[in-house]
Structure 1
Amino acid sequence: MPARPRPDLSPSTLPDLPPGLTTRPLEKTDASAVHLLIAAQEMADTGEVAIEEADIVSDWARPSHDLGSRSVGVLDGDELVAYAELMGVDRADTAVAPSHRGRGIGTWLALWLQDLGRRVGSPVIGMPVPQGSPGDRLLEQLGYRVRWTSWVLKLPEGATIPERELPAGHVVRTARPEELRAAHDVLEDAFLEWSVREREAFEDFEAATTGRPGFEPWNLRVVVDPEGTVVGVSLVLVSDDGTTGYVDRLAVRRDQRRRGLAQALLVDSFAQARAHGTTTAELSTDSRTGALGLYERVGMVTTSTWVNRAVELDPTTETAH
């Protein structure tokens, strides 16, 4: 039997948005407006803001991301009140201004993402939402299941992580420019042990890391063995207000684990952040990594819990309306 043709879905197949709202693809100049939108949603849902404008700018700098065809903004007049985008095969991000909740915009965005996912061949799409938030409840009602749970952890102000002695000949230091590709390999090899995605292109990593606004060489930390080979990596960032050091990624090569390298990288990363003026330290981990216990044992405490909710897509099924 011949394969059924995939339907040519477009925004016209979606339910209507509330009167007065318009849509358009996002542009890179929208980064500030998207940051303010996400920040307002995070404050309403969790009582604190974690998003940085640099997070958005660095994501949108990835050569593989076609913002124009993978995003939509919802506007009330000239004000951006909601957005959605699909990055890669299955990573979706959305936000709706608290002032515009309860009007069906979140449902429209979820259906828009499903239609986009079908058009680009995604078998599944998922997005992170604070556990128990309005977004979490909405996605549950729409049939999105929990794929994994994530936790944001903080090192209490004034606390320090116990130091671990490195194996003989190993050194923690700033990555050298010529080690960027090796650092990327260590990170990707480790993350792909449990992640269900394609390998990140080095060019995307480079653009989102060294091309991130405010990036400085000291942000990328490595452990090298006696031969000078990179065997562990930490990417530590500083918040826009300069108060928080955030470990964005941390990985150790599989054959070098259980030797204290991860803890040594944490000690170094947070010490470097403190040396650059921060007073608190944070990171996040999820249930796929099995690392939550490690961070709790060194004194970090959970400040918020998120779930990644996802829905499988049938490429032959159009959105009902």
Structure 2
Amino acid sequence: METPALAIPADLTTRPLAPGDEPAVTRVMAAQELADVGEVVIEEADIVADWRRPSHDVSARTIGVFDGDHLVGYAETSAHGRGDAAVDPAYRGRGIGTFLAHWMQDNARRHGSTVIGMPVPEGSPGDRLLTALGYRVRWTSWVLELPLGRAIQERPLPEGYAVRAAEPAEYPAVHTVIEDAFLEWSQRDRERYSDFVASVVERPGFEPWTLRVVTDPTGAVVGTVLVQLAGEEQQEGFVARLAVRRDQRGQGLAQVLLVDAFAQARAHGASRSTLSTDSRTGALSLYEKVGMEVTSVWVNRAIDL
């Protein structure tokens, strides 16, 4: 059954979002992140790429809360029980977050999901709100960075292996390596290759050098990493995806890919490197071994529908 309908303040309005609303969504998310964790993580390119995925129906999966023409709150759902939401900190305390949480539950339920959850900074207003609404913690996530100026320690490759930029003809193999690895711990359907292309290759700012691979002596792709330049003046190299084929693990290939990503980001102007990982992967120690440090902790809170 659907949750009871909630009202928003009479001076505010709602509507589904659409392509063209990405800058406004980015602004609201950035304001919330700055208030909650002290820095802006979101990039407009993230929203653009996500909404371009062929499988994502933006008009059916999003809602915006407006004060006149000014977006002050936003929420969306996607497949696999994932949601995102943000409220302009200047509009907190008016029931917008509660309204959006219930809208997400109803929207996810209508699309066949049996659970809905979203990441929030641990201890933040969003975390406290979802706790009060009965959401449980599904997993914990950490944002890590390689501190400014920290030396990058080289990692040797096994004989016959090579690390380099992926060739366009290898993109399907890259996608396969990523999905095979991620589906070992992520409870979701396999990502469509067309969605991979939209969110990675067609993401604003993508350049061929940002998608790296490790190949074995036969030339097969056995590991991959995606690094994205982000932040003001692209001073941050964000490691967005990292995967190694199961039968190739234990040889240090993930560390090789990380070190390569850090070096490539620095060579292209980044002064720091960051990534996020969560408790489902068991990879936190890997990142700490190459010199990264935790900068913030997030929890994914969810509720059964």
Contact 1:163–1:263, Cα closer than 8 Å, also in 2: no
Post-superposition, which runs of at least 4 consecutive aligned residues in structure 1 deviate over 4 A?
Answer: none
Residue 10 of structure 2 is aligned to residue 19 of structure 1: yes
1:89 Cα deviation from its structure 2 partner: 2.8
Q: Which among 136, 139, 157 is matched to residue 148 of structure 1?
A: 139
Residue 221 of structure 2 is aligned to residue 230 of structure 1: yes
Residue 252 of structure 2 is aligned to residue 260 of structure 1: yes
Q: TM-score, normalised by structure 1?
A: 0.93
Corresponding position of 1:63? 54
1:119 Cα deviation from its structure 2 partner: 0.9
1:247 Cα deviation from its structure 2 partner: 0.3
1: CA distance between counterparts of 2:135 and 2:254?
34
Query: Which of structures 1 and 2 has the bigger CA Rg?
Result: 1
The CA RMSD over aligned residues, in Å, is 1.1
2: CA distance between counterparts of 1:160 and 1:65?
41
1:294 Cα deviation from its structure 2 partner: 1.0
Corresponding position of 1:275? 267
Question: What is the CA deviation profile of residues 217-276 of structure 1, one whole-angstrom value per residue up to 9, with x for unaligned ones?
Answer: 001000001111000000000014211101000000001111010011011111111111
Q: Which among 22, 37, 58 is matched to residue 46 of structure 1?
A: 37
Corresponding position of 2:291? 299
1: CA distance between counterparts of 2:223 and 2:141?
22
1: CA distance between counterparts of 2:44 and 2:243?
25
Corresponding position of 1:74? 65
1: CA distance between counterparts of 2:97 and 2:60?
19
Query: What is the letter of the counterpart of residue 291 of structure 1?
Result: A
Residue 119 of structure 2 is aligned to residue 128 of structure 1: yes
| Identity rate, percent | 63
1:296 Cα deviation from its structure 2 partner: 1.0
Residue 178 of structure 2 is aligned to residue 187 of structure 1: yes
Contact 2:80–2:187, Cα closer than 8 Å, also in 1: no
Corresponding position of 1:3? none
Q: 3-state SS of the aligned residue for 1:18?
A: coil
Query: What is the letter of the counterpart of residue 168 of structure 2?
Result: P
2: CA distance between counterparts of 1:228 and 1:89?
34
Q: 3-state SS of the aligned residue for 1:223?
A: strand
Q: 3-state SS of the aligned residue for 2:234?
A: coil
Query: What is the letter of the counterpart of residue 45 of structure 1?
Result: D
Residue 237 of structure 2 is aligned to residue 245 of structure 1: yes
Which consecutive residues of structure 1, in runs of 5 or more, have no partner in the other structure?
Answer: 1-6, 314-321
1: CA distance between counterparts of 2:96 and 2:234?
34
Residue 201 of structure 2 is aligned to residue 174 of structure 1: no
Question: What is the CA deviation profile of residues 63-92 of structure 1, one whole-angstrom value per residue up to 9, with x for unaligned ones?
Answer: 000000000000011100000000113110
Corresponding position of 2:26? 35
1: CA distance between counterparts of 2:214 and 2:289?
22
Contact 1:243–1:278, Cα closer than 8 Å, also in 2: yes
2: CA distance between counterparts of 1:118 and 1:213?
32
Corresponding position of 1:287? 279
2: CA distance between counterparts of 1:270 and 1:294?
14
Query: What is the letter of the counterpart of residue 159 of structure 2?
Result: A
Question: What is the CA deviation profile of residues 8-34 of structure 1, one whole-angstrom value per residue up to 9, with x for unaligned ones?
Answer: x69xx5111111110000011000000
1: CA distance between counterparts of 2:110 and 2:271?
46
1:161 Cα deviation from its structure 2 partner: 3.2
Q: TM-score, normalised by structure 2?
A: 0.98
Paired residue total: 304
Which consecutive residues of structure 2, in runs of 5 or more, have no partner in the other structure?
Answer: none
Contact 2:17–2:64, Cα closer than 8 Å, also in 1: yes
2: CA distance between counterparts of 1:134 and 1:195?
27
Residue 303 of structure 2 is aligned to residue 311 of structure 1: yes
Q: Which among 96, 99, 106 is matched to residue 105 of structure 1?
A: 96
Contact 1:233–1:250, Cα closer than 8 Å, also in 2: yes
1:160 Cα deviation from its structure 2 partner: 2.7
Contact 1:125–1:310, Cα closer than 8 Å, also in 2: yes
Corresponding position of 1:316? none
Contact 1:70–1:86, Cα closer than 8 Å, also in 2: yes
